Chains A and B, each alone.
Chain A
Amino acid sequence: MAPAPPATAAGPSLVETLFQRSLDDLVKSLRADPSAAGESAAVARALSEIHREIRAADAATKAVALQKLTYLSSLHFAPVASHPLAFPAIELLASPHLPHKRLAYLAASLSLHPASLSLLPLATHQLHKDLSPSASSAAAHRHVSALALQLLASPAAAAAPDLAIHLAHDLVPHLSRGCPRAIAAASRVIASSPSAAVPVLFKPLAACLASPDPRASTAAAAAFCDLSAPPADAAPFLPLAPDLYNLLTTSRSNWALIKVLKVFARLAPLESRLAARIVDPVCQLLTRSAAMSLTFECIRTVLTALPAHDAAVRLAIGKAKEFLAAEDDPNLRYLGLLALGMIGPAYASTVHDCRDVIAQSLGDADSNIRREALHLMMGMVDENNVMDIAGMLVSHAAKSDPEFANEILGAVLAACGRNVYELVEDFDRYASLLADMARSLHCAQGDEIGRQLVDVALRVHDARPELVRSARTLLIDPALLGNHFLCPVLSAAAWISGEYVQFSKDPVELVEALLQPRTSLLPMSVRAVYIHAVFKIITFCFSMYVERLDNSSEAVDAVFDDLAVDQSVGEERNVAHVSGEEQGIRPISVEKDPVSGEEKGIRTHTVEKDPFSHESILYMINLIQTTLGPLVECNEVEVQERARNLIGFIHLAREIQELKERKVNGDKNSRVKELVVTVRAIFCQELGPVSANAQKNVVPPDGLVLENLAELTNIVSEDDTTPSTSVVFHPRSCHSAEVRDEPAVSIGSSSLSEHRKRHGLFYLPTGKAEDEANDYPHANDPLLPASDETVIDDKFKTIEPVLAGKKIKSTKSRPKVVKLDGEDFLSTMVANASVPKEDPLSGAVRGVLLTRDAKPSSSQNVSVIMSEGMLNKTGTCESSSQWMEKRESDLGGDPTSSSRTNKHRDKEKGTDLPEIDGNESRKHRSSSRSGRRQGKHKHRERSSTQPDIVPQAPVIQDFLL
């Protein structure tokens, strides 16, 4: 290729012109071989041709090449290097031949590649020429200027702000004759470089709103709709309200009306009287219009911007319900649901009325409709109906496809768990609902369900019996063990049934469930939890057994005799077990021994009657030994360690029993008890959630020597890096260990040694753990169950006001949910995060509107002239003086508009306010610390953060006087 250029530049040009393939030929060749390979070959061939042809001196050849290149680059992802497309396009812009020019403009506006855009400034002069009035005929000129305007309105121009700045003045004459293209181009230019373009273009553009030509006014409405769109601030466009209002009442174009309504929807929240003014025309449109698009826009405007006008809202809701009822049109049903979602809290009851329709939509064929229905359902949830809705949704999830089922479950979990279960009153039902969710067919939300199960167990004392019941149903079901999504749930269930075993009706059954053969399917981390749960259960049973012996001390002797007999059986089994282990296999001794086989039958019988009888304990011991024996050799440290602990404990218990049986009676009795009570004491300490910030609140007791404090602060700060604000259950969690450490410090030295023993038993004795345990007061000190009611109450005052109101009104007393002060810091952060920022467009628009009286600099001459024209025109507007008055009086401070936020203000008292005076501060209050309803206030919040509504007063005069 390299040596070719001199030849190709001149030589083949004639041949090419004669034999050049046209675009039609190209399309035909592409169609000739529809396979992907054939197509890409054709594209490659065509590209190489084009690269040659496009350098031809002949304009016609070049034009056809450009045409083909445009085609390929727009449809076939042809890797167009920048220059071949951009440079010839710019060359051809100057062509006097209209079709060539047209092609060139099309190519330029389609090629948005940055490299070609960087060449666009080269076209500035040509654009200027095409925009300026020329000697050619009016029709041709209009045509040419239309092309140039098209390019200016294309995104290409927006990427080249210099172009916009240089050509802004050329747009003005076209704007003043109301050319829709010029209007669109002006809007694009203003958007791309506000500071330069607004002074020149804004007022002519505003004048177009009042143009008698419907095309111009429609285009202007669209332009202002575009300019005032959300990231920009709508407030500077308030002075345009009279013209927009005229358009709203007189325009017959649905498109224009939709755009005007959109602008009003943004302006109305800024100016309460504007809302009162537009409500009638909007309602008229709503009742009259046959076009669904316009009807929907009216509904949206009323529901989002005019929520204070009851009649209008009711009308809009009625229309929305008509949309919902459209059986044959999924589009309308979807939009109907969207409209329901816009209804404010004041009309929540009307949404509730539609509950059946919404529930029905959950089963719609369309996933969008289903999702919207789910969203609405979740929006309806309050403390009275949360369980009904959640139950209904969970049963619905069973019938849905996997994806949607999980969306439902996720939504239910998020709604119920929000803000520490603030909606949930009936935790018993919630506990069983969580279990139902876990059993739901497609459930993949195991992590969250497991987390909530443990979280509820830790926080809500009253829910524990029901949680243990639910956990049991999960654990005894062997089918769940194979589902890896449910591992976290099973892990949580195992933990709950071990930790709160005292609520269990049948610990023996639990032990059987936790040791069932299919547990081998579980991941090792979960097995470790299972084994530990068994440990807790067996400890509990032992302690109950020993306690019972104590209580019936007169019958002690008889029981001991029984024990002795049984123990001998147990011992035999032990021997058998050892021999089995020697063989390397694990034959279950029950099978071997016909006597014990019989006994087993008897045992299970007695076990059912009484879980704490001697027989059932022996049965459990044997079951544990046979099942966990092999795990002592397990490779996984956690499992191995726990299995060893448990087996060791059982051996210990047995040896003591033997001792008791063969030697001194009184002594061994007390040693059994001591062992059992000690171990039980370790487990029966209450666990509570711990705030991440709790450590700071602990006051060290007098006389406590903190020798290695520096070392400890390092350790604590390392631990604090976890972002979670509550204790999250985990098999290895050192948080949960710490929680249980507490009694060691507060009870006294004897329990200290217990504590050490426990650490020796269950955790690798690291220096860190020891230090923390011995010398440092723990994070959850004030949360000890003994004192938690009072301490929590005064420590967490911040939450109380929120909860107080609800508690009073709820008929059934809600169980106490332990909450921590640090736990709302996330929502506070969210509130603070939404710091609005000034955008350049609104700043510029405001700037030009405000500087009316300011000395007109040379560059602003045009704008001043235009603005005077504008003043005359708008001066005739009949409603102008009313607008003015309204505006003025509102600025004096309108008490009615603040009533809406009063409720919030009460709650929010005492928060720090930014230094903003009067009107504005109330809005800030609502945004500063409302963690719960954050989303709904966004709109108002955003608008309120423009502190210069007051300085805008002159703006109105500017336009209307």
Chain B
Amino acid sequence: MNGSPEVEERLPWSRGGNRGGDDDRFVLFVNKQGQTRLAQYYEHLSLDERRALEGEIVRKCLARTDQQCSFVEHRNYKVVYRRYASLFFLVGVDNDENELAILEFIHLLVETMDRHFGNVCELDIMFHLEKVHFMLEEMVMNGCIVETSKQNILAPIQLMEKSS
């Protein structure tokens, strides 16, 4: 259906293969039912890999309680997650990434969405997926977090809304 898998394997992936930069690998929003609400990958995974990854991680995270820590080791990365109401926000990072900083990042992202949408909920994300992607793009570049000011993050989106 989507090209031959051999081709995928031969591609010179700078990230997955010969480099292990210490930055985000993916950002996922998943609800309690295990439905993905946003998926932003910073490395290439085939559809099957993604499906397996999201399924496994969500199962692992759903099984955890509040008394357990917010870090889950999964394959070769660490998943830092945080739960807000019915949504799980998951960020996959390399092993030596600062977990607490990622938690702060998740919180910042949620606050930013909250400021933009006003009491953000799952539906906002579903119907304005692009905007969330744009916010994420403003915040994370090349897997590194480059922008942490809510105002700066939202400025281009507001500009775009004004223009259209």
Contact = CB atoms under 8 A, between A and B. Distances in A.
Contact of A331 (B8, B14, B38, B70): B70
A67 B71 CA distance: 34
B42 interface: yes
A27 B142 contact: no
Contacts of B70: 330-331
Contact of B14 (A158, A222, A297): A158
B3 A115 contact: yes
Contacts of A334: 69, 71
Contacts of A114: 3, 7-8, 11, 44
A159 interface: yes
A231 B101 contact: no
A158 to B, nearest CB: 4
A185 interface: yes
Interface in B97-147: 98-101, 103-104, 126-127, 129-130, 133-134, 137, 141-147
A258 B145 CA distance: 12
A192 B18 CA distance: 10
A155 B100 contact: no
Given A75-B37, A155-B15, A334-B69, A27 B127 contact: yes
A185 B19 CA distance: 16
Contacts of A99: 160, 163-164
Interface stretch (A273-281, A364-372, A734-742, A848-856): A364-372
Q: How large is the interface on A (under 10, 10 to 19, 20 to 34, 35 or more residues)?
A: 35 or more
Interface in B35-92: 36-45, 47, 50-51, 64-65, 67-73
Contacts of B104: 254, 291, 293
B130 A67 contact: yes
Contact of B146 (A77, A180, A232, A258): A180
Contact of A102 (B2, B22, B129, B160): B160
A56 interface: no
Interface stretch (A78-86, A410-418, A421-429, A572-580): A78-86
A334 B70 CA distance: 9
A143 interface: yes
Nearest to A139: B159
A192 B137 CA distance: 20
Given A159-B13, A185-B142, A219-B146, A229 B1 contact: no
A218 interface: yes
A293 B164 contact: no
A191 B14 contact: yes
A331 B99 contact: yes
A948 interface: no
B9 to A, nearest CB: 9
A720 to B, nearest CB: 36
B21 A229 contact: yes
Given A191-B19, A231-B18, A79 B146 contact: no
A319 to B, nearest CB: 13
B103 to A, nearest CB: 7
Nearest to A28: B127
A378 to B, nearest CB: 17
A153 B146 CA distance: 12
Interface string A857-894: 00000000000000000000000000000000000000
B39 A113 contact: no
Contact of A365 (B68, B98, B133): B68
A936 to B, nearest CB: 16
Contacts of B73: 368
Given A112-B43, A185-B142, 9 more contacts: A155-B42, A215-B146, A215-B147, A229-B21, A229-B22, A255-B101, A296-B100, A368-B73, A369-B68
Going nearest first, the 9 A-B pairs with the smallest beta carbon separation are A184-B141, A293-B100, A366-B68, A222-B144, A330-B69, A184-B142, A293-B101, A153-B142, A112-B44
